[in-house]
């Protein structure tokens, strides 16, 4: 039983996946820090930092924290835009340039 587990863990794809997860977590920290430390203050300098955390309503004793959802949605959209414009687009351009040079 342990021999099979050891063989499973030592397969290359499991190790590759583990490395990918670790790199993904590190990249997540970099992107979150970039958005929190640079992009959000930049947005705040021009239009005010959006904070809807206190926005909620109550129906029959149940409180709906709509503001928390709006904050998470704005954060998601901001992070997605940063990743797209600072990672995906440059990578696609670089890939396109290197593939046309090889042809």
pTM for this predicted structure: 0.64
Q: So where are the chain's domains?
A: 38-103
pLDDT in tens, 74-90: 888 988 998 899 889 99
pLDDT in tens, 4-23: 888 877 777 877 888 889 99
CA distances from 97 to 17, 84, 86, 88 (A): 29, 18, 17, 14
């Amino acid at each position: 039983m342990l021999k099979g587990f050891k063989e499973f863990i030592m397969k290359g794809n499991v190790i590759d996946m583990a490395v990918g997860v670790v790199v993904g977590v590190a990249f997540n920290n970099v992107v979150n820090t970039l958005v929190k430390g640079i992009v959000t203050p930049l947005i705040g300098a021009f239009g005010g930092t959006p904070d809807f955390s206190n926005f909620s309503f109550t129906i029959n004793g149940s409180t709906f924290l709509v503001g928390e959802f709006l904050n998470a949605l704005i954060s998601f959209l901001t992070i997605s835009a940063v990743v797209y414009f600072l990672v995906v687009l440059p990578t696609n351009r670089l890939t396109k340039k290197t593939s046309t040079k090889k042809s």
